[in-house]
A = this chain, B = another copy of it.
Amino acid sequence: MSEDAKAVRHWWRTSIIDMEPGRIAFRGHPIQDLIGNVSFAQMIWLMTRGDLPSPEQAALLESALVAGVDHGPQAPSIAAARMAATCGVGLNNVMATGVNMLGDVHGGAGEQCAELYLDIAARMDDGADLQTATRDGIAHWRETYGKIVSGFGHRFHKPVDPRAPRLMALVRQAASDGAVSGRFADIGEAVQAEIGSQRGTEIAMNIDGATAVIFCELGFPPPLSRGLFCLSRSVGVLSHGWEQMQQGGRNKGPMPPAYLPEFEPR
């Protein structure tokens, strides 16, 4: 191989996949050994992490992926996907349109919350107790992100987002089974308690706070909290886009035409 060819191959080096004619391996596992033997969630773990999870770890990942698929057509990602589905594009475009919107505000809460949890854990590693680390971690986090701590409280689901307690129960079960440490469940609840204490009224953990606990327990770095949420929400985006395609419509606007008659698309 010429030096030029080596340089090109190095430019696109990857440890995820290698191939030769008739052979495909992911992270060293021949694909035919994976197909039919590992779940989709296990494959997601293998691809993003490099090793295979235990069944208990995979189950916990799976619970978080199931929890986040959709929160209805008022979400910009879902609304945009449904509108795109009426514009004469393929489902790939519909899905890209929805996922593209999962930015810092719409899709970033889990990532931001994971950063907080990991910072608190680091403070404890440096010798702080849970309560002090939590208080200091929240204060530090707010310098970057502002007063409202991502992962806690919900405008609509009062008193409780039904996904969070279910996810936390699964984490606690996994911790009691020894599958995870339970450390981030403690941290998440300490954050919840501290925020509640500071504002003088209880606040609930929401889905982002609970999935961040899971992703931290499983060792995913914060950016993958967003990445995994994007994978999860892609299911809702696809489902709504497909439902809209079956309902029909052309150039679906955000509201019935009678509302904005002067704004017909063209």
Write out, one digit per residue, whether chain A residues 145-169 have a CB within 8 A of any chain B CB (1) or not (0).
Answer: 0000000001111111111011101
Give the size range of A's interface with the partner: 35 or more
Which of chain B's residues have a CB closer than 8 A to the CB of A80? 76, 79-80, 83-84, 97, 101
Known A93-B93, A104-B89, A105-B86; contact A208-B65, beta-carbon cutoff 8 A: no
Please tell me if A17 contacts chain B, counting CB pairs below 8 Å.
Answer: yes
The stretch that binds B, out of A33-41, A126-134, A181-189, A195-203, is A33-41
Which of chain B's residues have a CB closer than 8 A to the CB of A19? 71-72, 156, 262-263
Q: How far is the CB of A4 from chain B (nearest CB, A)?
A: 4
| A21-79 contacts to B (CB < 8 Å) | 21-24, 26, 30-32, 34-36, 38-41, 43-44, 47-48, 59, 62-63, 65-67, 69-77, 79
Please tell me if A108 contacts chain B, counting CB pairs below 8 Å.
Answer: yes
Q: How far is the CB of A175 from chain B (nearest CB, A)?
A: 14
Please tell me if A264 contacts chain B, counting CB pairs below 8 Å.
Answer: yes
User: How far, in whole Å, are A220 and B66 apart by their CA atoms in the complex?
Assistant: 20
User: How far, in whole Å, are A21 and B100 apart by their CA atoms in the complex?
Assistant: 28
Which of chain B's residues have a CB closer than 8 A to the CB of A163? 24, 31-32, 35
Give the number of copies in the complex.
4
Please tell me if A88 contacts chain B, counting CB pairs below 8 Å.
Answer: yes
A157–B22 CB distance below 8 A: yes
User: How far, in whole Å, are A243 and B14 apart by their CA atoms in the complex?
Assistant: 8
The stretch that binds B, out of A113-121, A135-143, A251-259, is A251-259
Q: How far is the CB of A225 from chain B (nearest CB, A)?
A: 9
Which of chain B's residues have a CB closer than 8 A to the CB of A34? 66
A88–B108 CB distance below 8 A: yes
A156–B264 CB distance below 8 A: yes
Which of chain B's residues have a CB closer than 8 A to the CB of A30? 162
Please tell me if A192 contacts chain B, counting CB pairs below 8 Å.
Answer: no
Which of chain B's residues have a CB closer than 8 A to the CB of A63? 35-36
A206–B74 CB distance below 8 A: no
User: How far, in whole Å, are A222 and B172 apart by their CA atoms in the complex?
Assistant: 41
Please tell me if A122 contacts chain B, counting CB pairs below 8 Å.
Answer: no
Task: List 21 contacting pairs A-B, 8 Å CB cutoff, sorted by A.
Answer: A4-B5, A10-B256, A17-B72, A22-B158, A22-B162, A35-B66, A73-B254, A73-B263, A74-B255, A75-B251, A76-B83, A80-B97, A87-B107, A90-B108, A91-B226, A92-B101, A92-B103, A92-B226, A97-B100, A100-B100, A155-B257
